[in-house]
Structure 1
Amino acid sequence: MLLPVTAGVDGSAESLAATAWAAREAARRDRPLHLVHALAWHPRNQDGDSTGAARRHLARRALRQAEERARAERPGVRFTDEQLEGPATAALLKAADRSGLLVLGSRGLSGFTGFLVGSVALGVVARAACPVVLVRADEEAADEHLPAGDGGASTDTGHRDVVLAVDLGEACDEVVEFAFEAARLRNARLRAVHAWHTAGPVGLGTGDIGLVRESRQGEEWLGVLKAALQVWRDKYPDVEVLETVVEDRPSSALVRAATGAGLLVVGHRVAERPVGPRTGPVTHAAIHHVGCPVAVVPHA
């Protein structure tokens, strides 16, 4: 049984953009699309009968709107829908357990720093068992494609790059494979990015590259990156790969690298901490400050 591409639906512009993106992705992957509405997406006080009926009516309307958006985006996609009871985060995590990919909407960028992604999306990203893609409210199909010759938006041009954040300390197969497959499905170039910094007297890191003269460290890291991805180049011979290393903080380098990309892929180590699951600093920066859709791929 093929696991579906699932979209979280709540009637907002963000969730409709996520539904449209999920419909395109389901068509690319030849998977069904599953639409999920959590009845307690916005928690309220204890429900009486009339309030419960109103919530179910609103849920049904949100699902109908999402179905119409999905049909308009990809008329041939197969889809189902579902209403799940309970807190939104728990409901979406339950849906993620039965999905190959979960797509959620997020608020768009603003001139302010801070939390631009809601607590529900953050909680799901931190704990989901499947990859989660966050999509901005203003995302459209043309945003996945390169501009036309006159600079205008188009869906007839090639796809923008898929950018992969590579941590050479733990280059996880699940994350790399997701990025290569995404690039293959889009016939897009894969741009693999690793950020490095000059090592101090301790903590030299992978391969003790800190022992190399500073002027040559970038070349050494590039060689390590190419070697780490060679097996994936062999597995995906049709995917054009561009490896890039930069001397910078990983979060800053990644936000810059994702400018103009069609999709950013980052990894997230799933681990329980005393204060509960959290995203790491690089994933945190990506999902709050990158304008393109961001795929967060869990790994052990």
Structure 2
Amino acid sequence: MAVPPVVVGVDGSESALDAVRWAADEARRRETLLRIVHAYQIPTGYPQGFVDVKMLHDVLLAQGKEWLVRAQEVAEEAAPGLTVETVGVQAPTVPALEREARDAAVLVLGSRGLGGFTGLLIGSTAVTLVTRAACPIVVVREPGRDGPVVVGVDGTPASEAAIAFAFAEASARDAELVAVHVWSDLLLEVAFAGEPAMLDVTRLAEEAHGVLGERLAGWQEQYPDVVVTREVVRDRATRALLRRAEGARLVVVGSRGRGGFRGLMLGSTSQHLLYHAACPVAVVPARPE
């Protein structure tokens, strides 16, 4: 069976070219095709005769072709011999990339776009895609370093896909894997439940270590080459993962978590990482039940 391609969205920005470099390296490691996609949209709502729609279409099309050519050059420089395919499509960015994600191994995006009619990641585009895409999404905020792959583990089956992705990335990159489980929010949950007698810090810490071990069971046997460091942290999930992103080559989180005070990957945590992490961030959708 053919290996799904790595897809990267581009808009002519330097951030998008950083994403192309990361995606080219990923496609090389996976021994698969790199598909570079540029989506553009003709603006609407102008008074009749105010804008020559055909001329605007031609300008955007020519501009997109130039950006795709440049992106292909960058990809081939980053991974010589890589098979590269470029695609220009007239469509809104989010639906176009969402369609691409259906058949992709990974969808890679830059963290900042140009804005205007071709801006790829201005505003909520990346956040919208990570809630909809059928494949893992990697947002390349910084090129990444030679440090570990970091994965957030929330203790539920929803994080299983993120753990699998993180082990595979660590193995392919010959990197250490740091598995982080945060447990301080459990204290708040117990307190709000009106059971202060249950605030046994030692017991909660032991339970957190057990949860992390349970979630990692089996993966270390499947990837014996990966050195795993387990970290059980009494902290807020966002703060703990942002701190560990410094010096990391990749941070991996799930697209949703437990919810409530236990929500490691739900809502604000993954979004905060996308906006502020000092390395590429992978958001991995949970496997279907």
- Deviation string for 1:241-290 (max 9, x for gaps)? 111011111111111121111000010039xxxxxxx9612111211111
- Deviation string for 1:174-221 (max 9, x for gaps)? 1111010000000101100011122524669xxx9x947213422331
| Matched residue, 1:285 | 272
Distance, in Å, in 2 between the alignment partners of 1:165 and 1:294 is 11
RMSD between aligned residues: 2.5
Unaligned 5+ residue runs, structure 1?
109-115, 146-159, 271-277
1:226 offset after TM fit, Å?
1.4
Going from structure 1 to structure 2, the CA distance change for 1:43 and 1:243 (only over 3 Å counts) comes to farther
| Matched residue, 1:156 | none
| Matched residue, 2:260 | none
Going from structure 1 to structure 2, the CA distance change for 1:45 and 1:14 (only over 3 Å counts) comes to farther
Q: What is the percent sequence identity of the aligned residues?
A: 40
Going from structure 1 to structure 2, the CA distance change for 1:75 and 1:202 (only over 3 Å counts) comes to same
- Deviation string for 1:120-142 (max 9, x for gaps)? 22221221111000012x52xxx
What amino acid maps onto 2:244 in structure 1?
A
Distance, in Å, in 2 between the alignment partners of 1:291 and 1:239 is 23
Distance, in Å, in 2 between the alignment partners of 1:226 and 1:293 is 26
1:144 offset after TM fit, Å?
2.9
What amino acid maps onto 1:183 in structure 2?
A
TM-score (norm 2): 0.84
| Matched residue, 2:170 | 183
1:117 offset after TM fit, Å?
6.0
1:224 offset after TM fit, Å?
2.2
Going from structure 1 to structure 2, the CA distance change for 1:96 and 1:11 (only over 3 Å counts) comes to same
What amino acid maps onto 1:240 in structure 2?
V
Distance, in Å, in 1 between the alignment partners of 2:177 and 2:148 is 6
Q: How does 1:89-128 map to 2 (within 5 A)?
A: 89-107=94-112, 118-128=123-133
**In the alignment, is the contact (CA less than 8 A) between 2:151 and 2:253 conserved in 1?**
yes
TM-score (norm 1): 0.81
Q: Give 3-state SS (helix, strand or coil) of 2:284's partner.
A: strand
Distance, in Å, in 1 between the alignment partners of 2:30 and 2:283 is 18
Aligned: 1:82 with 2:68: no
1:29 offset after TM fit, Å?
1.0
Q: How does 1:1-300 map to 2 (within 5 A)?
A: 1-40=2-41, 43=43, 48-107=53-112, 118-136=123-141, 139=143, 143-145=144-146, 160-197=147-184, 198-199=187-188, 200-201=190-191, 211=198, 213-269=200-256, 280-299=267-286, 300=288
Distance, in Å, in 2 between the alignment partners of 1:213 and 1:38 is 54
Count of aligned residue pairs for this structure pair: 263
Q: Give 3-state SS (helix, strand or coil) of 2:217's partner.
A: helix
1:75 offset after TM fit, Å?
1.0
Q: Give 3-state SS (helix, strand or coil) of 2:94's partner.
A: helix
**In the alignment, is the contact (CA less than 8 A) between 2:145 and 2:247 conserved in 1?**
no
**In the alignment, is the contact (CA less than 8 A) between 2:134 and 2:285 conserved in 1?**
yes
What amino acid maps onto 2:100 in structure 1?
A
Going from structure 1 to structure 2, the CA distance change for 1:12 and 1:43 (only over 3 Å counts) comes to farther
Q: Give 3-state SS (helix, strand or coil) of 1:182's partner.
A: helix
Distance, in Å, in 1 between the alignment partners of 2:80 and 2:199 is 56
Q: Give 3-state SS (helix, strand or coil) of 1:89's partner.
A: helix
Distance, in Å, in 2 between the alignment partners of 1:242 and 1:129 is 29
Distance, in Å, in 2 between the alignment partners of 1:167 and 1:279 is 10
Distance, in Å, in 2 between the alignment partners of 1:78 and 1:7 is 14
**In the alignment, is the contact (CA less than 8 A) between 2:246 and 2:277 conserved in 1?**
yes
Distance, in Å, in 2 between the alignment partners of 1:279 and 1:57 is 40
Distance, in Å, in 1 between the alignment partners of 2:178 and 2:19 is 24
Q: Give 3-state SS (helix, strand or coil) of 1:266's partner.
A: strand
| Matched residue, 2:116 | none
Distance, in Å, in 1 between the alignment partners of 2:10 and 2:278 is 21
Going from structure 1 to structure 2, the CA distance change for 1:119 and 1:43 (only over 3 Å counts) comes to farther
Unaligned 5+ residue runs, structure 2?
47-51, 114-120, 258-264
**In the alignment, is the contact (CA less than 8 A) between 2:176 and 2:228 conserved in 1?**
yes
